[in-house]
Amino acid sequence: MKFRLLSALLIITHAATAKEGMWIPSLLNVVYSDMQSQGLQLTAEDLYDANGSSLKDAIVLFGGGCTGEIVSNDGLLFTNHHCGFDYIQYHSSLKNDYLRDGFWAKSRSEELRCDGLSVVFVVRMDDVTEAMRKGITATMSPTEVDALLQKNKKALEEKYKKENPLLGLQLKAFNYGNQYLAILTKSYNDVRLVGAPPSEIGKFGGDTDNWVWPRHTGDFSVFRIYADANNEPAKYSDKNVPFHPAHHLPINIGGVKEGDFSMVYGFPGRTEHLLTSYAVDFITNQLNPMRIDMRDQTIAVLEGRMRASDEIRIKYAAKQSDVANAWKKWKGQQIGLTNFRALEQKRAFEEQYAAQCLKPEFRAYAQVLPKLKSLYNDVNHLNFETQLFAEYMYYGPELFNFSYRFHELIENYDTLQAKGKLAATLEELKQGARAFYKDFDLETEMAIYKRLQPLHDVKYNKRGAADSKQAASLPLDYMKSVFSDSTALFKLLAKPGKGMIKKLKADPFYAAANAMTTDYNARLRPQVGDYNKQIDYWMQKYTEGMMKMFPGNYWADANSTLRISYGKVDGSYPRDGEHYTPHTTADGILQKYYTGNPDFAISSKLKSLLEARNYGTYGSNGELNVCYTGSNHTTGGNSGSPALNAKGELTGINFDRSWESTMSDIMYNPEICRNIMVDIRYVLWVIDVYADADYLLNEMTIVR
Ligand code: ASP
C-alpha cells in the first residue's frame, strides 16, 4: 500500500492535487489545462457557456438534494434509484409494488405525476465578490462585517431580481466568504416518473453494500420534465408537453477502461475540507460517535421488523434508507479519518500556519487560530445538544415530529379562526396525517422509542452543559397519545373547538416535542447562530491567510452549487494487501446472490438472464460491466450526477463512494478515495433486455 509520509501531506491536503476538488464550471481556468492534459477533449465553453448551449444545460439539481441529467430532446432524465426513491415508494402499494417489481410507463400517458418534485437548471453564474465585500475593512468586528454583508446582499438581490424577474437567484459564499457568486436558476415543477428498476436491481446489496466496493447496484431511475407550450415552467397539467432542453447528453456504450479521463458534473452538497483540528476533533470524538450510537438503535429495530413483514418493509423503506445512509457513512468516515491520521495532519498544518504568522507580512493572522480554538471550545456542547435533539426528533420515533405539525393549530387556534383559516389548516393537517399513517406502524414506533429514550437521556445528561432543563426525559405512554391511533385523531379533528385543542395540547408526545423544540428555538439556535457568525468571520480570515501563506489552486467546499470533478477511471488500494479493480461485472451479482444474504436476493428472471449471459448488445468480451470507480472527488448531492468521458458523453451515473472514501468530505486521500458509478451499459441492459422498455431508447442519442 502506498502511504504518503505525514510531512509530505501537510501542504498537499491544503493546496489541491489534480484529482482532489470540485471546481466551479464558470471559473474553470485554474484547472482547464490540467483537465486537458488528463485527456479532456472539450473546450471550457463546451462545459459551461452562459450565452450558448453547453453541457451544463443537461444537468439539473434533482429534488433539492440530488443531481439528474437529461438524455433526450424530450426531457427524459436519469438520476439514481435512491434519489427517485420517495416517489417510487409514494406510488407503491401492496397491489402495485413498484419497489419490489419496478415500474415502466408504456406510453407518456402512463407516466406518473410526482407532486412536490422539482428540477433546477443553472442559467448563469456571476462573480459578485467585490459587490458583496464592498466596504468591509480588516478592523471591523464580526457583527459589523455581518451587518454589511447582509446590506450588500440585499442590494444585490434587489438588482438581480429587477433585471431577471422570472429567474430564481442564489447568492452563495465560497471559501468562507473569500468569494461570492450570484447564481441564476430556472425551476421546473412538473416532473413525472417514467421508469424504475425493481429493488433487486436499483437497491441490490441494500445496506450490506451501501458505501461499499465492489458494488453491483443498478442505482438509477428515469423521469421526464414537462413544460408549457412555450417550453417554460408550469405547474402540473394534462396540457403540459415534454420539455426540450438546450442540450441533452449522448450516451456512449463503447465502455470505459482503467486510465480513461472521467468527470462528474453535478451538485455536490457539502464538504468541509478546510476545517480546523478543533472542529475535526469534535466531529470524530464526540459528534459522530453520538449519532452512530443513536441510529444503531433505530436501525436494529427496523431491520428486524422489515425482514419479518412485507407490509412493514414497504411502509418503512424510505425511512430506513434515510436513517441508515448517513449512519453508515459516519462509520466509514471514522475509520478513514483515523487511519489517515486526519487530526494529526490538521494539527501539524496549524503549527505551520502559526509559524508563518511570525513573519511580519502575516502577523495580521496571528489571532486567527487562538480565536477559533476558543470559539469551538465554547460552542461544541451546544452543537452536541443540537444534533442530539435532531437525532431524537427527526430520526428516531416519529410521533414527536408528527405531533409537532399541529403546533400552529394548537398555539394559534383563535387567530386562525378569526382569520377564517381554520378549515384550510385542518384540511392540510388531515391530508398530511393520511400520508403519515399510510407508512406508520405503532409497534415499530414503540420498539424504536423504547430503545432510544434511555440512550437519549444518558447522552443528554452527559453532554457537559449545566444551563438547560431536561426535556422529554420521562418515558412516555403511547396508549395515552391520541397520535398513536389514526381513528381517534380523525375523530378528534372532526370536532374543532376548545376541547380538541386542550386534548391535543396535553398529549404526551406533543407536549414533549413542544418542550424540546421550544428549548431548541429559545436557547440553542440563537446561541449556536451567534457562535457560527463569529466562526464564519474567523474562518474567512483563516482561509484568506492560508491562501496567502501557501499559494495554490484552492477549490471551494461543496455548497450545493454546480461543480465539475475530474480524474480517471481508477481502482484503489484501500488497505495493506488489498487492491480494488475499477469495475465489476454481472458475475458478481450471482456470486453475491449465492451467499444467501437477503440483501442480495434476486428473482428467477434476473438470475436466469444472468446465468444465460444474455447481455444483448451491452456485453463486451463475454462480460456485462455493472459498476466502475474513478478518482472523481464527489460527495452527497452528487448522487445521480452524470459520469462523462473526455467528449462529454454519458458513460455512467454516479451514486456512491467506497466506504474508505467517505472521509473525503473532510480530507481527501488521492490513493484511496474513489467514487462509484453504475455503468451506462448496465443501465441500458436493464431498460432494454431485462424490462423490455426498449421504446425509451428510441429517444436517446446512443453512440455505439
Ligand atoms: N450516496 C451519496 C448520495 O446519496 C453520494 C456520495 O456521498 O458519494 O448523495
What are the structural domains, with CATH classification, of the chain? 2-118+189-272+557-657+669-703 (2.40.10.120), 122-187 (no CATH), 277-541 (no CATH)
Q: Is 79 in the pocket of ligand 1 (CB under 6 A)?
A: no
Alpha carbon of 168 to ligand 1 centroid (Å): 26
Tell me, using a 6 A CB cutoff, whether residue 639 lines ligand 1.
Answer: yes
To test the pocket of ligand 1, the residue of 322, 563, 639 to mutate (highest count of ligand atoms within 8 Å of its CB) is 639
Atom of ligand 1 nearest to the CA of 665: 7
Which of 657, 659, 672 is the best mutation target for the ligand 1 pocket, counting ligand atoms within 8 Å of the beta carbon and taking the most? 657
Which of 79, 212, 264, 638 for a ligand 1 pocket mutation test, highest count of atoms within 8 Å of Cβ?
A: 638
Distances (CA, A) of 232 to 189, 193, 242: 10, 19, 11
- pLDDT of 384 reads 95
Q: Is 636 in the pocket of ligand 1 (CB under 6 A)?
A: yes
| pLDDT of the residue at 463 | 64
**Cα separation, 469 vs 518, whole angstroms:** 11
Angle between the N-to-C axes of helices 442-461 and 368-394, in degrees from 0 to 180, rounded to the nearest 10:
150
657 lines ligand 1 (CB under 6 A): yes
Ligand 1 pocket member 635 (CB < 6 A)? yes
CA of 329 to the centre of ligand 1 (A): 9
Q: How far apart are CA 13 and CA 575, in angstroms?
A: 20
Query: How far is Cα 653 from Cα 79, in angstroms, rounded to an integer?
Result: 7
CA of 65 from ligand 1 middle (Å) equals 10
How far apart are the CA of 634 and the centre of ligand 1, in A?
Answer: 8
What is the DSSP code (8-state) at residue 509? Answer: H
Atom of ligand 1 nearest to the CA of 210: 1
Distance from Cα 635 to the centre of ligand 1, integer Å: 5
User: How high is the pLDDT of residue 1?
Assistant: 33
> 141-178: string of b/e by CB count within 10 Å (b at 16+)?
ebeebeebbeebbeebeeebeeebeebebbbebbbbbb
For the chain, give the number of residues.
704
Which residues pair with residue 677 across a beta bridge?
A: 628, 654
Does any ligand 1 atom lie closer than 6 A to the CB of residue 656? yes
Residue entry with cell 482503467:
258
Q: Could you list the active site residues? A: 82, 219, 639
Which three three-digit cell numbers place residue 449? Answer: 422509542
CB 665 within 8 A of CB 685: no
Does the beta carbon of 81 lie inside 6 Å of ligand 1?
no
3-state secondary structure 73-106: CCCEEEECHHHHHHHHHHCCCCCCCHHHHCEECC
Question: What distance in Å separates the CA atoms of residue 125 and residue 180, rounded to the nearest whole number?
Answer: 10
For residue 560, give the 3-state DSSP assignment: coil
pLDDT, position 397: 96
- The protein residue with its alpha carbon nearest to ligand 1, atom 1, reads 656
Q: Is 638 in the pocket of ligand 1 (CB under 6 A)?
A: yes
pLDDT digits 0-9 by tens, 646-671? 999 999 999 999 998 999 999 999 98
The ligand 1 atom nearest the CA atom of 80 = 4
Number of H helices, E strands in the chain: 26, 20
Query: What spacing in Å lies between the alpha carbon of 205 and ligand 1's midpoint?
Result: 15
The pLDDT of residue 462 is: 72
211 CA closest ligand 1 atom index: 1
Cα of 422 from ligand 1 centre, angstroms: 41
CA 511 / ligand 1 centre spacing (Å): 36
Does residue 215 line the site of ligand 1, with CB under 6 A? no
Mutate to test the pocket of ligand 1, among 66, 86, 655 (most ligand atoms within 8 A of CB): 655
Count Cβ neighbours within 10 Å for each residue of 248-274 and write b for 16 or more, e otherwise. Answer: bbbbbbebbeeebbbbbbbbbbebebb
Residue nearest to atom 2 of ligand 1 (CA): 636
pLDDT, position 389: 95
C-beta 654 within 6 A of ligand 1: no
652 backbone dihedrals φ, ψ, rounded to 5°: -170, 175
Half-sphere exposure of 31 (CA within 13 A, CB side): 29
Q: Which atom of ligand 1 is nearest to the CA of 661?
A: 8
User: How many whole angstroms from 379 Cα to the centroid of ligand 1?
Assistant: 28
* pLDDT per 10-residue tile (average), the chain, 704 residues: 38 52 96 96 97 97 98 98 94 92 97 97 97 94 93 98 97 97 98 98 94 97 98 97 98 97 98 98 97 96 94 90 92 94 97 98 97 97 95 96 98 97 97 96 96 89 55 75 97 97 97 95 96 95 97 95 97 92 98 94 98 97 97 97 98 96 94 96 98 97 94
